[in-house]
Amino acid sequence: DTAVSQTPKYLVTQMGNDKSIKCEQNLGHDTMYWYKQDSKKFLKIMFSYNNKELIINETVPNRFSPKSPDKAHLNLHINSLELGDSAVYFCASSRTGTGGRSGNTIYFGEGSWLTVV
């Protein structure tokens, strides 16, 4: 069973379109994340979310929005797609807890390759 699954794995779309990437985790975690990995391979956190708070990386344009229908899902909606949005997007999850102490291992999905043309 895949712990963190994302769909679609590949997405090619035109500039200006609105698209969503879905994410589901079956680990019983209550915190989920979205990361973006650009062409230079830098991994940057976009959002982290649990039932108490949404933390948004201030550099993320407001065209990006996370939507969580329940604890097991955190979908990423992107409006008015731009060429610079082309990247690999990773969903992840973990238990909310004591930060670094227990490890609070963060589990990542396999990524969604978004190409905007």
Name the residues that contact other proteins, by CB under 8 A: 4, 31, 33, 35, 41-45, 48-50, 52-55, 90, 92, 96-101, 103-111
Closest to other proteins by CB, 44 vs 63, is 44
Q: Least separation, in Å, of the C-beta of 111 and other proteins?
A: 6
Say whether 83 sits in a helix, a strand or coil: helix
Q: Least separation, in Å, of the C-beta of 114 and other proteins?
A: 15
Closest to other proteins by CB, 14 vs 53, is 53
Q: Distance of alpha carbon 86 from its chain centroid, rounded?
A: 14
Q: Distance of alpha carbon 32 from its chain centroid, rounded?
A: 8
What DSSP string runs through 44-70? EEEEEEESS-EEE-TTS-TTEEEEEEE
